[in-house]
């Protein structure tokens, strides 16, 4: 595990740079020092670093996705009723637990910036503060899951499905602490160039989850209720494992450890405004996209079983291909936020251009080619029904065009998180999906002969608007102002009490 690569700036640690770089230094009225020209990095170097960090993230996200997938696979061997109830519970779980993912995105901004500016103990403080906020938010989420039957019965006609889904979600309440600790812990470690610990934990926990599903559902004959028990146990183990890694990590390197002593607990429960202001738009960005895509699956049922099956196939393929640019966006966010913390303007510009032009171009073309050229084989892998395969094969080229644009959207969103401009991303997401995408999808789907294809064309219009908007905002970024604001943000966090505790 990458637990000791902390701050060797010239010898391969996070932010390691080519030797011999020249720089011109300037200082503004607030005493902020920035590198304006003579950058200390190159496009080739940024391409290598971001690509190297993105690879383990892809594996991590795919393995984490497999946890929910295994519940569907195991319960699917029982009967259609149980499968329907568990699928309903999984959608509800994904939609509501995304709140915790959105909260954790504030750490994509704060932790790498603090690490780059060498305010090491602030990195630990931000983690502790995010955990405290997340646990507070967990209370209404847990209550929603516990009493989910009262909500689901307004949306689902079959009371049997409601009972199964509600029982599933009640068990999943036990998964919340582990889920929250793992999500926040990943961000904390990634800020310190550790992109592999989460991957290694899932290398153990994902197969264990499959084994637990088999044992509880089939060997112990617990039925569908064994699936959420297995998942809750797995999330608990994941949270405990990453907490143990963090405990080990924060004990290293003496005075430079990235940790706020627990004895200095007052800052953990103060100055939440900044973190909340970054977290709320992060939640909006995740939820806006998730709900837009999920609504298509629900509405596809109106066009018959073949359309619903084809929609399930293309949605699954879209989710899988999405993980590649999403992982790269997380890696890029951490890298650029680190440069912001180092107050290096040209390095920020070079990294951002490399992400959008070089990495974005390669990923967009690769995803497009895969979805177009492999559309028949991919569709046949998921279904043997010729009608379903034919329809899915006709939709995948539309998905390919959407994914081409979505790559730049996802990468730009990562850069906006690095800059601390999540609010802008949240506004653009709402406009793109709910002013443009969903209305266009409704018109093309229900008022033309395109039907389900019209859904994806309409949503694609929203994706293109979002991609253009976010790329435009990133390309015209005022990096001097962004670095200035970041400096003032972290400087304001260091209160007298905190400074005394870190001496």
Task: For 305-354, write each residue's pLDDT tens digit.
Answer: 788 788 878 888 888 889 899 999 999 999 999 999 999 999 999 999 99
Task: For 388-408, write each residue's pLDDT tens digit.
Answer: 889 999 999 999 999 999 999
Please say whether the beta carbons of 376 and 313 come within 8 A. no
| Least confident stretch, 18-22, 158-162, 381-385 | 18-22
What separation in angstroms does the CA of 503 have from each of 266, 268, 476?
16, 18, 40
What lies within 8 Å, CB to CB, of 44 at 6+ separation is none
Which comes out higher in pLDDT, residue 251 or 114? 114
pLDDT of res. 19? 41
What lies within 8 Å, CB to CB, of 374 at 6+ separation is none
d(CA 265, CA 245) in angstroms, rounded, equals 21
pLDDT of res. 34? 54
d(CA 301, CA 290) in angstroms, rounded, equals 18
Q: Is the pLDDT of residue 7 over 90?
A: no
Q: What does the block give as tokens for 416?
A: 């906006």
Please say whether the beta carbons of 472 and 316 come within 8 A. no
Nearest to 438 by CA among 319, 290, 321: 290
d(CA 346, CA 349) in angstroms, rounded, equals 5
In the DSSP assignment, the letter for residue 256 is G
pTM: 0.88
| 3-state SS class at 373 | helix
pLDDT of res. 24? 46
pLDDT of res. 36? 52
Sign of CA dihedral 186, 190, 194, 195: positive
**Strand boundaries in 225-327, DSSP class E:** none
């Amino acid at each position: 595990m990458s637990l000791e690569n902390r701050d060797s700036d010239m010898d391969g640690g996070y932010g390691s740079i080519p030797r011999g770089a020249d720089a011109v230094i300037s200082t503004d009225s607030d005493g902020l020092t920035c590198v304006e020209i003579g950058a200390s990095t190159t496009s080739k170097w940024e391409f290598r670093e971001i690509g190297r960090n993105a690879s383990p993230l892809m594996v991590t996200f795919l393995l984490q996705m497999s946890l929910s997938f295994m519940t569907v696979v195991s319960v699917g061997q029982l009967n259609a009723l149980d499968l329907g109830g568990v699928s309903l519970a999984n959608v509800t779980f994904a939609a509501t637990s995304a709140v915790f993912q959105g909260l954790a995105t504030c750490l994509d901004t704060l932790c790498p910036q603090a690490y780059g500016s060498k305010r090491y103990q602030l990195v630990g403080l931000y983690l502790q503060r995010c955990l405290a906020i997340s646990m507070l938010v967990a209370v209404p989420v847990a209550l929603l899951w516990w009493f989910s039957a009262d909500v689901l019965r307004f949306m689902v006609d079959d009371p049997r499905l409601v009972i199964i889904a509600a029982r599933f979600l009640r068990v999943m309440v036990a998964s919340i602490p582990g889920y929250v600790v793992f999500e926040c812990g990943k961000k904390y470690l990634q800020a310190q160039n550790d992109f592999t610990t989460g991957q290694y934990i899932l290398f153990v926990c994902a197969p264990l989850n499959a084994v637990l599903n088999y044992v509880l559902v089939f060997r112990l004959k617990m039925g569908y209720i064994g699936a959420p028990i297995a998942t809750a146990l797995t999330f608990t183990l994941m949270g405990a494992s990453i907490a143990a890694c963090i405990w080990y990590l924060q004990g290293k390197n003496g005075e430079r450890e990235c940790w706020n002593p627990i004895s200095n607990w007052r800052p953990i429960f103060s100055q939440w405004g900044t973190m909340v202001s970054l977290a709320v738009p992060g939640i909006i960005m995740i939820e806006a996209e998730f709900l837009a895509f999920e609504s298509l699956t629900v509405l596809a049922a109106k066009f018959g079983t073949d359309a619903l099956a084809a929609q399930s196939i293309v949605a699954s393929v879209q989710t899988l291909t999405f993980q590649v640019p999403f992982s790269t966006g997380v890696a890029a966010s951490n890298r650029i936020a680190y440069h912001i913390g180092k107050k290096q303007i040209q390095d920020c510009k070079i990294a951002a251009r490399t992400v959008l032009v070089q990495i974005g171009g390669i990923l967009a073309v690769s995803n497009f080619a895969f979805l177009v050229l492999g559309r028949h084989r991919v569709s046949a892998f998921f279904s043997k029904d010729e009608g379903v395969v034919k329809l899915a094969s006709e939709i995948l080229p539309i998905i390919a065009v959407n994914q081409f644009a979505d790559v730049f959207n996802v990468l730009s969103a990562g850069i906006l998180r690095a800059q601390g401009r999540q609010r802008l991303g949240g506004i653009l997401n709402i406009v793109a999906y709910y002013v443009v995408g969903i209305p266009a999808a409704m018109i093309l789907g229900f008022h033309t002969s395109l039907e389900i294809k019209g859904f994806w064309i309409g949503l694609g219009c929203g994706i293109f608007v979002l991609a253009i908007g976010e790329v435009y905002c990133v390309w015209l970024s005022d990096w001097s102002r962004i670095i200035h604001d970041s400096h003032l943000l972290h400087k304001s966090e260091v209160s007298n009490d905190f400074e005394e505790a870190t001496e």
